[in-house]
């Protein structure tokens, strides 16, 4: 009996441990901000600081061809001429099925482009109770006033 249940328990435990892990990769296409951008600029002892708050929208095309709508709010802080700075905010990815992933992001931009990290906070439908992490990496865009970003979301659902 032990010879049968030992391997069976290992197969079941392995299946449970990895059954709900999902790594999603997409290219996010971003157009100009959807709403009025709020910009505040201040000078602190000869250091210029700009803060931008905006709501943005885009769509992600995943490796398997599925598409998600992405809505997010972004608070950016730039120093000096704006060629470098940091950004943080919250995102909602809504899949064609209606399931969604909610995530917080933080990142920096500069000479090497934009790089950031996600923390998955939850979701709806298939992603209810989701946790995980991810990455954001800026990519070159052939279009003026738009951007392309590589997104990886490592999602674990209960």
Q: Can you tell me whether residue 6 is helix, strand or coil?
A: helix
Can you tell me the mean pLDDT for 33-54? 66
Q: What angle do CA 127, 72, 89 make, to 5 degrees?
A: 95
Q: Which helix (H) or strand (E) holds 16?
A: helix 2-18
* pLDDT (tens digit per residue) in 52-111: 888 889 999 999 999 999 999 999 998 878 788 999 999 999 999 999 999 999 999 888
Higher pLDDT, 20 or 39: 20
Domains and CATH numbers, the chain: 21-156 (2.40.350.10)
The set of residues, in sequence order, having a beta carbon less than 8 Å from that of 156 and lying 6+ positions away, is 20, 21, 22, 130, 131, 132
The length of the chain is: 158
- pLDDT confidence of residue 43: 58
CA-CA-CA-CA torsion for 97, 155, 135, 52, nearest 10 degrees?
Answer: 60
Instruction: Report the share of the chain in percent with pLDDT over 70.
Output: 78
């Amino acid at each position: 009996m032990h010879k049968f249940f030992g391997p069976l328990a290992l197969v079941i435990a392995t299946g449970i441990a990895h059954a709900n892990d999902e790594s999603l990769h997409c290219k996010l296409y971003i157009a100009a901000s959807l709403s009025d951008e709020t910009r505040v600029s201040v000078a602190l002892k000869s250091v210029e600081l700009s803060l931008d708050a905006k709501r943005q929208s885009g769509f992600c095309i995943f490796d398997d061809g599925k598409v998600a709508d992405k809505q997010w709010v972004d608070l950016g802080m730039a120093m000096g001429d704006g060629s470098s700075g940091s950004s943080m905010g919250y995102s909602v990815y809504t899949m064609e099925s209606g399931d969604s992933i909610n995530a917080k992001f933080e990142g920096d931009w500069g000479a090497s482009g934009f790089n950031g990290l996600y923390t998955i906070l939850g979701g709806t439908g298939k992603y209810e109770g989701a946790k995980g992490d991810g990455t954001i990496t800026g990519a070159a865009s052939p279009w003026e006033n738009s951007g392309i970003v590589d997104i990886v979301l490592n999602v674990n659902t209960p």
